[in-house]
Structure 1
Amino acid sequence: MGLLGALFAPFDAAAVARPDTGHGHAEDVPAAVLAALARDLDMTEDQARQRLAVQERAVALNTALRGRMGKDHAGSWLDADTGRLTVAATRADQAPRVVAAGADVRVVRHGAAALAAISDDLGGHRGGRGAKAVTAPEGVVGWYTDPAGDRVVVTIRRDAARATLDRLAAYGDAVVVARATAQPTATWQYLHGGDAINGGNCSNGFNVVNPTTSVRYLITAGHCVTAGGTVTGQDGSVIGPVVERWFPGFDDALVRVTNTAQWVQGPWVDTNPSNGAAVTIDGYSDGPVGAAVCKSGVKTRLTCGHITGKDQSVLYDNVNWMYGLTRFDACVEKGDSGGSVYQTGPQNRAEGVVSGATLDAGRCLEKVGLPNVSFYYPIADSLAYYGPRYGVVVS
């Protein structure tokens, strides 16, 4: 216990549990966002406020525990109803420290590293952007990590070959197989996140800026734009050129805003795209499973849900493989692609840009009585790439 004590000695659980009063309170959430949370999460507005306050503390606690546990932090998730944090640990001797910090703990057999290795084995860009993709087994249309189940959930077509089923079975209880109900698809169809771009076929994600040069950009979905092309805004006027675009495999793009006389930018996301009220974005996050998030896009406007899976790989339209997505259950339809996904509460933090969804005749699945299955590309991954290359931060 000597080493473990040294590892955790500087950690002040009470300090982490206290909300940061310098950035507002859950009571400060805009009325439109609070109403959307209550509507889509099936709770009262008072319950939504309480849920956001609990989530804010839980996310801060999870960040602290991840840093101190290192590789023994094997994943985490929030209870969708209460917002309470559970941390998976690969070593039983971590459990007392996690509980003392204020979280629940589950000792798991596999853990995040082992599940990530399975995901890499199934396919994807193991070497990052620009690396050649590894082809997934025939009949597999997607997979994601389920930390609460300590497993990778693999979705297959009903006609998947026996060889594919046998390969998946070889992973044992680290993999569970689900049958596809429909084919996922990319949802493409003052400048705020969520506002229409390119004739309303897609939405803006987040405004970013190089604080040293003051050069401004926006981040949207890669499939919404073409390399070297020009992006236009809701009124058809030019925003600027596409600096980099990644699709398929990844799904983001960086657009330089050159028409600054026309487009005024800031850290804003529209709550009723286009030209509604706005929330202010303060930094970014990479929330755990169970975290409540909201989405702004030009088609379905403001909708909310929970993160339901991490590190999602999915086959769009039976053609394009996507990797590293986050799965969530807010309503998303064509035209919402590129739109803003963010955590709201005492602080509004950017989470990612809308990538795609499983639809029924163009409708999100809740409209036919099924749970929504939607995807976004994490802003943490976009900033990890564009930040060093262009000096950008969320503005």
Structure 2
Amino acid sequence: MPRRRFSLVAALLTTVTCAATVLVTQPAGADAQGQAPAPAGRGAALATSPGALDALQRDLGLTREAALDRLAAEDRAGAVDRRVRAELGPRLGGTWYDARTARLVVAVTDPADAAAVRAAGAEPRPVAHSEEVLKAAVRALDAAGDPAPGTVAGWRTDPVGNAVVVRHRTADAAAARAFVRAAGVRAELVRYERARQAPRPLLDVVGGNRYWTSQYGCSVGFTVNDGFVSAGHCGEVGERTTQPSGQFTGSSFPGDDMAHIRVAAGNTLVPAVNRYRNNERVTVAGSQEAPVGASLCRSGGTTGWHCGTVISWDSSVDYGDQGQVTELLETNVCAEPGDSGGSAIAGQQAQGVTSGGSGDCTRGGKTWFQPVNEILQTYGVTLATGTGLALHP
């Protein structure tokens, strides 16, 4: 399967029949509690919203000052990430944000690139395998794993470990190792990890700024020019929705987990993500991809707003008898059934829509997201964007 990754564009959660909807931008020089504004950049919307900062502090164990510092550092790291990727090309071993040093780490396969990486403001790390090699190994596993053995839960690239991580459901990794050998992936590229909790699609209960199908409810993801995008496992093409009223015009699951729903006239499309506090929504303003290690937040109707960090941008997951989905964004943010289709956003930058997860928001867990821009290109739609903080009376 060819590589599918594009720069991410932004959008919002749909609000239905809300005639009094308005967009309100916080006064210059202060947030809703009279506090000084945070530095401009990827985290600006999150930083100027006290409730969003509360979630980041709660889920990452940070003080307000530390959360603001982290957002500013991640803005800088994202800019460096884009620059070094363009410069290194196939010599790149991967990148990730190191919260301990507040810097981007760049894995290099050629030691001669270390000086250029330092000059760009990042920390070089010599590695044996390029990012391209790791991604090719994941693609080989994708091709061999449809279906995957019952004991194999999924696989992903791991830039920090310079390896491909294969998750197995049992204490014994023998079946997982046999699967890797059969796929023709070199043993030295792979690290094995026990999957303590089984991932599953999150479609059991109503979520998000929710919408209904004939069978269940899911969370709205991001609005586009004619409706919104969500998870493919939420409904098939032709399925009708209510709250808002519409119809699935595109749906793919498994393999991908993406859908496009065109809404009927009269529904209001607001370019923002629901924060589930004081009727606030963070407006989507851009599409820059957050690097591995960076923070992001997820919005869904079952559990509201929760934050975590990026683990991998190339993770494959096996949902058992429901099938395999590849090239997902893997995170350690929690989610629960009904959050499916909901938004993952880093500051004001759209990242993906919720596919599935393991664990819950009491014990913690992992959540996988379908990258947003792949959905946009697949269905030929444009995401809605705006400025400021959207407030609903």
Provide the rounded CA distance (Å) in 1 between the counterparts of 2:357 and 2:42. 33
Once residues 115 and 228 of structure 1 are traced to their aligned partners in structure 2, the CA distance between those partners, rounded to angstroms, is: 38
> Would the alpha carbon gap of residues 269 and 25 (structure 1) be closer, same or farther in structure 2, given more than 3 Å must change?
closer
2:32 equivalent in structure 1: none
Structure 1 spans left out of the alignment, 5+ residues: 1-18, 126-132, 210-215
Q: SS of 1:123's equivalent? A: helix
Q: Name the counterpart of 2:25.
A: none
Change (3 A) 1:175 1:46: same
Identity in percent: 35
- SS of residue matched to 2:200: strand
Distance in structure 1 (CA, Å) of the matches to 2:177 and 2:42: 50
Asked if the contact 2:345/2:351 (under 8 Å) is kept, the reply is yes
Q: Report what 1:393 is aligned to.
A: 383
Mapped pair 1:152 → 2:164:
yes
Return the match for 2:211 from 184, 192, 197: 197
Cα 1:158–1:194 change in 2 (3 A) is same
Q: Distance between the aligned counterparts of 1:182 and 1:188, measured in 2?
A: 17
The one-letter code matched in structure 2 to 1:150 is: N
Quote how far apart the aligned CAs of 1:230 are. 1.3
Counterpart Cα distance in 2 of 1:269 and 1:180 = 31
Secondary structure of the 1:69 match is helix
Distance 2:384 2:143 in 1: 28
Residue 269 of structure 1 pairs with residue 273 of structure 2: yes
Q: Give secondary structure in 2 for the equivalent of 1:341.
A: strand
* Correspondence list, 1:363-378, <5 A: 364=360, 367-368=362-363, 371-378=364-371
Does residue 310 (structure 1) correspond to residue 303 (structure 2)? The answer is no
Provide the rounded CA distance (Å) in 2 between the counterparts of 1:335 and 1:375: 14
Looking at structure 2, the residues matched to 26 and 226 of structure 1 have their Cα atoms a distance apart, in angstroms, of: 34
Provide the residue aligned with 1:231 in structure 2. 241
Counterpart in the other structure of 2:11: none
Partner residue of 1:69 out of 45, 66, 88: 88
Contact 2:254–2:322 (CA under 8 A) maintained in structure 1: no
Please give the alpha-carbon distance, in whole angstroms, between the structure 2 residues aligned to 1:39 and 1:161: 35
Provide closer, same or farther for how the CA distance between residues 239 and 159 of structure 1 changes in structure 2, counting only shifts above 3 A.
Answer: same
Which residue is 1:174 aligned to?
Answer: 189
Partner of 2:127: 108
Q: What's the RMSD between the two structures over aligned residues?
A: 2.6
Identify which of 228, 240, 246 aligns with 1:218.
Answer: 228
Q: 2:58 aligns with which of 24, 35, 39?
A: 39
Q: 8 Å contact 2:169–2:198 — kept in the other structure?
A: no
**Offset at residue 272 of structure 1 (A):** 0.5
Alignment partners' CA distance in 1, 2:197 and 2:42: 42
Aligned AA (1:355): S
**Pair 1:242–1:83, CA change in 2 (3 A):** farther
Task: Say whether the 8 Å CA contact 2:219–2:340 is kept in structure 1.
Answer: yes
Are the equivalent residues in 1 in contact too, given 2:47–2:53 (CA < 8 A)? Answer: no
- Report the equivalent of 1:186: 201
Using structure 1 for the length normalisation, give the TM-score: 0.80
Going from structure 1 to structure 2, the CA distance change for 1:70 and 1:384 (only over 3 Å counts) comes to farther
Using the TM superposition, name which of 372-381 and 348-357 deviates more: 372-381
Does the alignment pair 1:136 with 2:148?
yes
Offset of residue 123 of structure 1? 2.0
Identify if the C-alpha distance between structure 1 residues 198 and 147 changes in structure 2 by more than 3 Å, giving closer, same or farther. same
Q: CA deviation at 1:29?
A: 2.3
Name the CA distance, whole Å, in 2 between partners of 1:252 and 1:33: 26
1:382/1:151 Cα in 2 relative to 1: closer, same or farther (>3 Å)?
same
Shift of 1:124: 4.1
Q: Would you say the 8 A contact 1:122–1:137 is kept in 2?
A: no
Q: Answer whether contact 2:106 2:117 (CA < 8 A) is retained.
A: yes
Shift of the alpha carbon at 1:382?
Answer: 1.7
- Given residue 38 of structure 1, which amino acid in structure 2 is its aligned partner? Q
Q: What's the offset of the Cα at 1:319?
A: 3.2
Instruction: Give 1:196 deviation, angstroms.
Output: 1.1
Aligned residues: 341
Of 285, 293, 304, 1:301 maps to 304
Unmatched segments (≥5 aa) in structure 2? 1-37, 386-393
Amino acid at match of 2:284: I
Distance 1:21 1:304, change over 3 A: closer
